[in-house]
Amino acid sequence: MYFHIMLSVSHLYVYPIKSLGGILLDEVELTDRGLKNDRRFVLIDDNNRFISQRELAKMALLHTVICGNQLIVFEKGDSASLLQLDLYPSEGDRVDVILFDDASEGLLMNGPINDWFSKKLDRNCRLVYMPDKVERKVDPIYARHQEIAAFSDGFPVLMIGQSSLNDLNNRLDQWLPMNRFRPNIVFSGGAAFEEDTMKEVVINSVSFSAVKPCARCVVTTIDQETGLKGKEPLRTLNKYRQLNNKLYFGQNILYKGEGILRIGDELKVMQRQPYLF
């Protein structure tokens, strides 16, 4: 039995460059492939495979700021060394980008930009942008309307309830912030892991569907302020959030339509689904 307790959007995040620091927003536009400016850039290695904090934890120390049509990138503690680039580049060589078992296409940024990232990360890497005409399809097993995503792991939106993090932190010796889990939408109110029971949700007249719990990896063990790795929260999640040898926290979301999301928007749960854990 569910009692009506108002659920509302409490935080909105975008991550312009995949696996770099995120940006907290008061409101954000929903586009055809996720929140506007979310993961439209990705860093790749010499084999065109994406680079993330999974192998380079120091990526957590690179932060981003949007200023008009410019994207500013800087290293935490060294704001004097800034990189400024177009937020919506239109030029660059075409290059394939490999994300897990998925291949997409993007525009390769110029040499000085790539040199800056390679120096900061002590590894040869190149920055790629996904233009609007590139459509990276969501896994057809989960897709409902041939949805597309930017350079996220696989889905356009990740949503987590604040109550879920509170529940996890109550089991930990040391409190962890939400940035360990890199969500797009955080909501307040309701029970722990209520997002797992949401099948259909409406926010500001846009219909959202929770289609797959989010499997978590070693990135959650990286302190986003220091770049240092630990054992939590995976060690604790293993005790109560394991399913088929994977650990889950948060829900991958698809949606139909476009609109604006704002802090304080109500989440109206239209349909529920069974809790799996």
pLDDT digit string (tens) for 212-224? 999 999 999 999 9
Query: What is the pLDDT, as a whole number, of residue 191?
Result: 97
Helix (H) or strand (E) holding 217: none
Q: Which region among 3-17, 19-33, 59-73 has the lowest average model confidence (pLDDT)?
A: 3-17
Is position 1 within any domain? no
Q: pLDDT confidence of 73, banded at 50, 70, 90? A: very high
Is position 67 within any domain? yes
Question: Which of helix, strand or coil describes residue 226?
Answer: coil
Domain assignment of residue 32, given as a range? 7-272
Query: What is the pLDDT, as a whole number, of residue 78?
Result: 84
> Are the beta carbons of 117 and 19 closer than 8 angstroms?
no
Query: Residue 88 pLDDT more than 90?
Result: yes
pLDDT tens-digit readout, 158-211? 999 999 999 999 999 999 999 999 999 999 999 999 999 999 999 999 999 999
How many domains does one find in the chain?
Answer: 1
Mean pLDDT, residues 109-114: 97
The CA R_g of the chain, rounded to the nearest whole Å, is 18
Query: What is the pLDDT, as a whole number, of residue 4?
Result: 62
> Could you give the CA distance from residue 244 to residue 33 in angstroms, rounded to a whole number?
29
How confident is the prediction for the chain on average, in pLDDT? 96
> Are the beta carbons of 195 and 251 closer than 8 angstroms?
yes
Say which amino acid occupies 113. Answer: I
What DSSP character marks residue 197? G
Is position 2 within any domain? no
For the domain that residue 143 is a member of, what is the CATH number?
2.40.33.20
Question: Which of helix, strand or coil describes residue 162?
Answer: helix
Query: What is the pLDDT, as a whole number, of residue 77?
Result: 87
Query: Residue 1 pLDDT more than 50?
Result: no
Mean pLDDT, residues 41-58: 98
> Could you give the CA distance from residue 143 to residue 211 in angstroms, rounded to a whole number?
8
Is position 216 within any domain? yes
Beta-carbon contacts of 55 under 8 Å, excluding residues fewer than 6 positions away, are: none
Is position 24 within any domain? yes
Mean pLDDT, residues 235-260: 96
Exposure of 243 by Cβ count < 10 A (0-12 exposed, 13-18 middle, 19+ buried)? exposed
Query: What is the pLDDT, as a whole number, of residue 79?
Result: 72
Is position 277 within any domain? no
